[in-house]
Amino acid sequence: MKSRIEHTEEEWRKLLSPQAFAVLREKGTEPPFSGKYNDFKKRGTFVCAGCGNELFSSDTKYNSGSGWPSFWQPVSPDAIDTQEDLSHNASRTEVLCARCGGHLGHVFDDGPPPTGKRYCMNSLALDFKQD
Find the DSSP H helices in the chain.
Answer: 9-15, 18-24
Residue 97 as a binder of Fe ion (CB under 5 A): the answer is: yes
- Comparing CB distances to Fe ion, the nearer of 6 and 59 is 6
> Pick from 22, 28, 20: which is nearest to 47 by CA?
20
> Pick from 80, 91, 78: which is nearest to 119 by CA?
80
Residue 98 as a binder of Fe ion (CB under 5 A): the answer is: no
Query: By the 8 A CB rule, do 117 and 73 touch?
Result: yes
Contacts to Fe ion from residues 28-67, by CB under 5 A: 48, 50-51, 53
From the list 33-41, 68-76, 82-90, 94-102, the region that binds Fe ion by CB under 5 A is 94-102
Neighbours of 12 (CB within 10 A): 18
Annotated catalytic, 120? yes
Query: By the 8 A CB rule, do 48 and 99 touch?
Result: yes
Residue 99 as a binder of Fe ion (CB under 5 A): the answer is: yes
Distance in Å, CB of 82 to Fe ion, minimum = 14
- Comparing CB distances to Fe ion, the nearer of 51 and 107 is 51
Q: How far apart are the first and last CA of the chain?
A: 25
Distance in Å, CB of 46 to Fe ion, minimum = 12
Site for Fe ion, rule CB under 5 A: 48, 50-51, 53, 97, 99-100, 102
